[in-house]
């Protein structure tokens, strides 16, 4: 690894082998960051990392062992982390009849979202070695209580109650951690409806979908923490 590369700020993006994660990694690399691209699929991850010139880390956010191993790899390579983007997530099942939602459905989705805390826990010591550490938690406007109570909004009840609940949990986690860790800027970003596999190709481009994430990740020192923002500005809680 070159001296110039070692001096570059360091970012890690979870689930970055496609969609919003991949575009986030691409834009951070373009901004001069040394990027760790994480993926559960080594084959797809290697292809994505090669395209971006990023470094692949195999990481399963539902596994303590996997996350600890990834954190150890970053520590050995450079010893610190400047930006962590928690992006991993699944929509879970969409049931035609609400009677059919089960606890197992919720468990499957929340196990991935618990990964946000698992990753924060493992990488916090490396973030605290940065002069300007930032965490961006990828959330969704579907987790906004204000929006879901606005009956005039088209799509206020889109998606599933399980997915929306998981995003609302991410929002509260963001606010609480921002308060408890004032030396780290921690914000939630709403990509909006973005054309990815999760949305069946509906919505705006992945570039537009990453605008809020990149804004949080690249904000100048001294910026706000504990916020929830989309590409058009603040999103109501």
pTM listed for this prediction: 0.93
Structural domain boundaries in the chain: 3-234
Token pair listed for 53? 């010139």
Distance from C-alpha of 106 to C-alpha of 121, rounded to nearest angstrom? 23
Residue indicated by tokens 């088209």: 154
* Per-residue model confidence as pLDDT tens for the chain (237 residues): 555 556 799 999 999 999 999 999 999 999 999 999 999 877 888 988 998 999 999 999 999 999 999 999 999 998 899 999 999 888 888 888 989 999 999 998 998 888 999 999 999 999 999 999 999 999 999 999 999 888 777 555 566 899 999 999 999 999 999 999 999 999 999 999 887 877 777 888 999 999 999 999 999 999 999 999 999 999 999
| Tally of residues, the chain | 237
The residues annotated as belonging to the active site are 163, 167
Give the list of residues 6+ apart from residue 152 with CB closer than 8 angstroms, or none: none
CATH number corresponding to 3-234: 3.40.50.720
Token pair listed for 84? 């962590």
Please name the helix (run of DSSP H) or strand (run of DSSP E) that holds residue 38, with its range, or none.
strand 34-39
């Amino acid at each position: 690894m070159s001296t110039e590369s070692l001096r570059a700020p360091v970012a890690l993006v979870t689930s970055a082998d496609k969609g919003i994660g991949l575009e986030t990694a691409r834009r951070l690399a373009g901004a001069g960051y040394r990027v760790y691209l994480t993926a559960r699929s080594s084959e797809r991850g290697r292809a994505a990392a090669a395209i971006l010139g990023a470094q692949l880390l195999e990481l399963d956010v539902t596994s303590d062992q996997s996350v600890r191993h990834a954190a150890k790899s970053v520590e050995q390579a450079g010893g610190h982390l400047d930006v962590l983007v928690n992006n991993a997530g699944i929509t879970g099942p969409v049931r035609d009849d609400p009677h059919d939602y089960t606890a197992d459905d919720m468990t499957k989705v929340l196990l991935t979202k618990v990964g946000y805390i698992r990753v924060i826990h493992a990488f916090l010591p490396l973030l605290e070695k940065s002069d300007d550490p930032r965490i961006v938690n990828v959330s969704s406007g579907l987790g906004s209580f204000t929006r879901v109570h606005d009956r005039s909004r088209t799509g206020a009840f889109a998606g599933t109650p399980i997915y929306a609940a998981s995003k609302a949990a991410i929002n509260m986690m963001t606010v609480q951690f921002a308060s408890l860790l004032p030396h780290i800027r921690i914000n939630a970003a709403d990509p909006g409806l973005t054309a990815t596999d999760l949305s069946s190709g509906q919505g705006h481009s992945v570039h537009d979908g990453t605008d809020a994430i990149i804004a949080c990740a690249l904000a100048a020192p001294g910026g706000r923490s504990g916020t929830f923002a989309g590409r058009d500005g603040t999103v109501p809680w």
